Amino acid sequence: MKIISIIVVIFSLFGYGHNQSTKRNPRCDLPGGTAGLCRRGINGYLYLPIRNACQKYLSEGCTTVGRFFSSREDCDKCRK
């Protein structure tokens, strides 16, 4: 009986770890780009869900919003 309990606990932990590592950033599903009327150039990467890809992006604005990321690594986390 102890062995069965240990096996159940081990499989539960593997399942929990898998779910934690596959959670996507909620920003991945939002519209992306820049906001505000500032004329500041902003470089980064925009996640394109239709292509499941990240594209280098240059825009003007005050701040970034949604699925706009400052690094390629952060953007790649949105890819399925």
Degrees (nearest 5) of the Cα angle 37, 40, 45?
100
Q: Of residues 80 and 17, which shows the higher confidence score? A: 80
Scan for tokens 């399942």, then name that residue: 15
- CB burial of 26-53 (b: ≥16 within 10 Å; e: otherwise) equals ebbeeebbbeeeeeeebebbbbbeeeee
Which tokens sit at 17? Answer: 């770890």
List, for residues 35-77, the tens digit of each pLDDT value.
898 889 999 999 999 999 999 999 999 998 999 999 999 999 9
List, for residues 9-30, the tens digit of each pLDDT value.
455 544 444 444 557 788 999 9
CA distance linking residue 59 with residue 45, whole number of Å:
10
Q: How far is CA 65 from CA 22, 31, 62, in A?
A: 23, 8, 10
What pTM did the predictor assign? 0.64
Q: How do the domains of the chain map onto residue ranges?
A: 2-76
Fold of 2-76: Factor Xa Inhibitor (4.10.410)
The phi and psi torsions of 3 (rounded to 5 degrees) equal -65, -45
pLDDT at 20: 47
